[in-house]
Amino acid sequence: MEHRRSSSRSRSRQQTERSFTEKCKDYLRQFLAFLFSNIGIICLVIGYTIAGAFIFIYVEAADHDKHSDNLRRNMSLTRNDTVAKLWSYTCCQFNTFDEFVWRNEVAKELMSFQSIVISNVQKGYEGDSVSSNRWSFSGAFLYSLTVDI
């Protein structure tokens, strides 16, 4: 009996006297065993998908902001220029009592503005009040999940 106690004590001393690297190796083995279990793989896929969603939101927001800022600026300048021309036609250049001439010039200006708006909408312009980031986390998560699988 005495021999059993001494051997168990020596084993416990050996376990406590293990070096730091041996402890790290044991923890690493346990961690890798967990990662390659079913629960570990599920956690890895979910973490990978969440990270992908955040990266996707960031990349899309940065790309969309640059492009939409240029389109908004161009549309704002075009709109202000069109309004200034229409005001000039109304108050200064043409006699508003000569309705035919005034209507023709205003129609030409509005058709020009309309073609610019159509071309900018085809390039991606969505208006001034649209938020810059259209991706929610749930939408980006779903997209990332479908890309991952």
Per-residue pLDDT reduced to its tens digit, 53-90:
998 888 877 666 666 777 888 888 999 999 998 888 88
The confidence band for 149, taking pLDDT boundaries of 50, 70 and 90, is low
| Confidence (pTM) | 0.47
Distance between CA atoms of residues 84 and 78, nearest Å:
10
C-alpha distances (whole Å) from 35 to each of 39, 48, 120 are: 7, 13, 50
Grouping H, G, I as helix, E, B as strand and the rest as coil, residue 134 is coil
The alpha-carbon radius of gyration of the chain (Å, integer) is 35
- 19 backbone φψ class: left, alpha, beta (φ>0; ψ -120 to 50): beta
45 Cβ contact partners less than 8 Å away, ≥ 6 residues apart: 148
The confidence band for 114, taking pLDDT boundaries of 50, 70 and 90, is very high
Read off the pLDDT of residues 7-54 as tens digits, 9 standing for 90 and up. Answer: 555 555 555 577 889 899 999 998 888 877 888 788 888 999 999 999
